[in-house]
């Protein structure tokens, strides 16, 4: 779509989309039941369609142009409706908030978690490789059982979950910490970005915990390392709930609405 077509599309379909749903999701579009209601997913589809139609015409340049156009259109529509999306320049106050947030214990341990995940997968590469090789060997020998395949696909799904949320927990907590100071004259005690971001962080932490518990039960030889990671995730979960006691009360657009 060109600039005019994008303007017409968002203008004609703004009632179809759920406002701000993309701000409090887990960024896993393929699994989302609300992607048809998400402006970000609509833009993503547009970029993908453009890629297919212009593979021989310099896709990267064209995709970049389309994204820039889409952002401008969203800004213009937001301006028309009196919605402030984000500041174009970072103020000294914003920089200070970011520095304070990065120094917070939650930010530190969530960053440590992301690093521990990286180290674990790097260190246990041979272990994961042997798992895949074992499946292939059974296929070649004709002795692969249904439970073997079920277990393998289950482990693969949990690994994808862990890697998907590895860094997101940290970034969601950073965002929550930066917006933790509320002005109750203009902000709601429950429905605010700090609580929304913290709630997403808690959801991702819970999903990551569940995934690591599956790996803990399956990889007996790596249980000590996994146990350390589980303890760290539990700590993140506990401290997030303490820092943002109202996070679970936040109603995420689309996801928590009945």
pTM for the predicted model, two decimal places: 0.77
User: Is residue 252's pLDDT more than 90?
Assistant: yes
| Listed residues 50, 80, 110: the one ending a domain | 80
| Residue 18 or residue 195, greater confidence | 195
In the chain, the number of structural domains is 2
62: containing domain: 3-80
| pLDDT for res 61 | 60
| Listed residues 26, 52, 80: the one ending a domain | 80
Task: Tell me, yes or no, whether 75 and 103 share the same domain.
Answer: no
What three-state secondary structure class fits 84? coil
Cα 134-209-159 angle, rounded to 5 deg: 30
Task: Tell me, yes or no, whether 56 and 153 share the same domain.
Answer: no
Give the confidence band of 82 by pLDDT, cuts at 50, 70, 90.
Answer: low
What three-state secondary structure class fits 211? helix
List, for residues 126-142, the tens digit of each pLDDT value.
Answer: 777 777 777 777 777 77
Q: Is residue 85 part of a domain?
A: no
Task: Tell me, yes or no, whether 73 and 152 share the same domain.
Answer: no
User: Is residue 21's pLDDT more than 80?
Assistant: yes
Task: Tell me, yes or no, whether 68 and 98 share the same domain.
Answer: no
Q: Is residue 27 part of a domain?
A: yes
What distance in Å separates the CA atoms of residue 22 and residue 40, rounded to the nearest whole number? 7
User: Is residue 187's pLDDT more than 60?
Assistant: yes
Q: How far is CA 17 from CA 21, 38, 90, 157, in A?
A: 9, 6, 29, 29
Task: Tell me, yes or no, whether 157 and 204 share the same domain.
Answer: yes
| Residues 6+ away with beta carbon under 8 Å from 199 | 24, 244, 247, 248, 250, 252
Task: Tell me, yes or no, whether 239 and 120 share the same domain.
Answer: yes
User: Is residue 244's pLDDT more than 50?
Assistant: yes
The least confident of 42-46, 69-73, 129-133, 252-256 is 69-73
What distance in Å separates the CA atoms of residue 57 and residue 155, rounded to the nearest whole number? 40
What distance in Å separates the CA atoms of residue 66 and residue 72, rounded to the nearest whole number? 10
Task: Tell me, yes or no, whether 101 and 221 share the same domain.
Answer: yes
| Listed residues 52, 80, 108: the one ending a domain | 80
Q: What length does the chain have? A: 258
User: Is residue 36's pLDDT more than 60?
Assistant: yes
Q: Is residue 255 part of a domain?
A: no
Q: Is residue 199 part of a domain?
A: yes
| pLDDT for res 120 | 94
| pLDDT for res 19 | 84
User: Is residue 165's pLDDT more than 80?
Assistant: yes
| Residue 74 or residue 51, greater confidence | 74
What distance in Å separates the CA atoms of residue 223 and residue 231, rounded to the nearest whole number? 12
List, for residues 195-213, the tens digit of each pLDDT value.
Answer: 999 999 999 999 999 999 9
| pLDDT for res 56 | 45
Task: Tell me, yes or no, whether 103 and 151 share the same domain.
Answer: yes
| pLDDT for res 48 | 45
Torsion of CA 199, 205, 206, 207, to 10 degrees: 110
Tell me the CA end-to-end span of the chain in Å, nearest whole number. 34
Task: Tell me, yes or no, whether 234 and 179 share the same domain.
Answer: yes
């Amino acid at each position: 779509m060109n600039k005019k077509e994008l303007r017409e599309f968002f203008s004609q379909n703004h009632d179809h989309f759920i406002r701000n749903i993309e701000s409090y999701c887990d960024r896993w579009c393929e699994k989302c039941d609300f992607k048809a209601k998400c402006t970000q997913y609509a833009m993503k589809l547009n970029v993908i369609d453009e890629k297919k139609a212009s593979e021989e015409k310099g896709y990267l340049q064209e995709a970049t142009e389309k994204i820039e156009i889409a952002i401008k259109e969203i800004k213009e529509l937001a301006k028309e409706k009196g919605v402030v999306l984000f500041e174009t320049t970072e103020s000294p106050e914003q920089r200070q908030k970011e520095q304070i947030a990065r120094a917070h214990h939650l930010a530190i341990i969530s960053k440590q978690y992301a690093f521990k995940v990286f180290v674990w997968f790097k260190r246990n590469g041979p272990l994961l490789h042997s798992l895949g090789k074992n499946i292939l060997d059974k296929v070649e020998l004709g002795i692969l059982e249904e439970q073997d395949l079920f277990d393998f696909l289950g482990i693969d799904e949990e690994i994808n979950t862990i890697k998907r949320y590895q860094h997101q927990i940290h970034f969601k907590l950073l965002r929550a910490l930066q917006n933790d100071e509320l002005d109750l004259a203009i902000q709601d005690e429950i429905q605010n970005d700090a609580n929304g971001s913290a709630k997403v962080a808690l959801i991702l932490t819970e999903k990551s915990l569940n995934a690591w518990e599956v790996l803990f039960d399956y990889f007996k030889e790596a249980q000590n390392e996994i146990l350390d990671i589980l303890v760290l995730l539990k700590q993140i979960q506990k401290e997030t709930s303490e820092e943002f006691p109202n996070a679970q009360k936040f109603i995420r657009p689309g996801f928590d609405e009945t």
